[in-house]
Amino acid sequence: MHLSENDSIMTGKNMTYSSGSLTNDYTTAEKNSVLVVDDEKSNIMILTAILSEEYTVYAAKSGKDAVEVAKKYLPDVILLDILMPDMDGHQVLSLLKSREETYQIPVILVTGLSEPDEEEKGLRMGAADYIRKPFSPAIIKLRVFNQIQMRNQLNIIRKLSMTDQLTGVPNRRNFDYRINLEWSHARRNKMPLSVFFVDIDHFKKYNDRFGHIQGDVAIQTVAKAIILSLKRPNDFTARWGGEEFVVLLPATPEAGVLEVAEIIRKNINDTSIAGTDPDAKNVTVSIGTNTIIPERESLMESFLSNADSALYNAKKAGRNRVCKYTPNPAVEV
């Protein structure tokens, strides 16, 4: 730890995001991180010394800075002093618990207050644990470790619940979450949002011929081909179910989605999935696309079902092709 380098953080006056770490190893992605909040410089130094071997340690000297650092770095655990000038630990805790980005971060209150009422108040407000000063380094380490371990396990469960087991791509639940975000974003910013469904052609026959295990390999290969064709960081694919995938392209107009869909169709058509069988045709997919600039009255369900009807048209027209949704002309009664 280089104190001079981090003095601005220690004083809390000119804290910048880029220098928000008390250690110089915060680039190590695998390390869990802890935010230490205390108005006493000496306490921050002691806690950093105890924790920095195992964790990336961020520090904040005031409640206001603590909330900012927590939002920016999303530490795995926060050690929060209660007695601080301006904003006390309880106020900071309440702010952290009220924000979408930070409410899940476990907070361990650290304080010299010994009244049981204070402890009860903190726990009722959502603190995960409570440590009294003077603290022993071993207790600090163990309590932090317990919270980190629970958080890591929770993250694994969360990740599993959002991932399709066969292909490793996001699952339908993940897609539902994502499309809600992208839909609101597109509506707010009046940006086009595109979607398409990718469905493997005659897959029942494929399974019948090659068996379900090879069928699974084909599904995995299609997932990979889709992933490799998506170039922008916000492009998103999920397994919709069975042999069908859905792709969401934010800020992408119709010409863009048609281009990406065609690349995917072609890549899959050109990939020899069936293996060594000389008579086997390649696996092909049909794709139905739709694009919208959502307005207040637009329905997300119609946006998706219209892409699905475009997929139906691609199947009807002979498969191994891309069709875009076009509204039916009005029928005169």
Catalytic residue numbers, as ranges: 243
Residue 219 binds ligand GH3 (CB under 6 A): yes
Size of the site for ligand GH3 (CB under 6 A): 16
Q: Say if residue 107 is exposed, middle or buried (CB neighbours under 10 Å; 0-12, 13-18, 19+).
A: buried
Residue 242 binds ligand GH3 (CB under 6 A): yes
244 binds, among ligand GH3, Mg ion, none (CB under 5 to 8 A by kind): Mg ion
User: Any alpha helices (H) in 74-115, and if so which ranges?
Assistant: 89-98
Tokens 């990406």 correspond to: 260
Residue 215 binds ligand GH3 (CB under 6 A): yes
CB 32 within 8 A of CB 152: yes
Q: Say if residue 318 is exposed, middle or buried (CB neighbours under 10 Å; 0-12, 13-18, 19+).
A: exposed
CB count in 10 Å sphere of residue 27: 8
CA–CA gap between residue 37 and residue 69 (Å, rounded): 10
Q: Tell me how far, at minimum, the Cβ of 202 lies from ligand GH3, in Å.
A: 5
Neighbouring-strand partners of residue 286: 199
Residue 38 binds ligand GH3 (CB under 6 A): no
CB 196 within 8 A of CB 285: no
Among the listed residues 199, 237, 323, 325, the single contact to ligand GH3 using CB under 6 A:
199
14-43 residues near Mg ion, rule: CB under 5 A: none
Among the listed residues 200, 223, 264, 307, the single contact to ligand GH3 using CB under 6 A:
200
CB 250 within 8 A of CB 193: yes
Between 57 and 311, CB nearer to Mg ion: 311
Residue 202 binds ligand GH3 (CB under 6 A): yes
Residue 281 binds ligand GH3 (CB under 6 A): no
Among the listed residues 207, 269, 271, 282, the single contact to ligand GH3 using CB under 6 A:
207
Residue 308 binds Mg ion (CB under 5 A): no
CA–CA gap between residue 125 and residue 146 (Å, rounded): 20
For binding to ligand GH3 (CB under 6 A), which residues are involved?
Answer: 166, 199-204, 207, 212, 215-216, 219, 242-243, 315, 319
Which residues lie near Mg ion (CB under 5 A)? 199-200, 203, 244
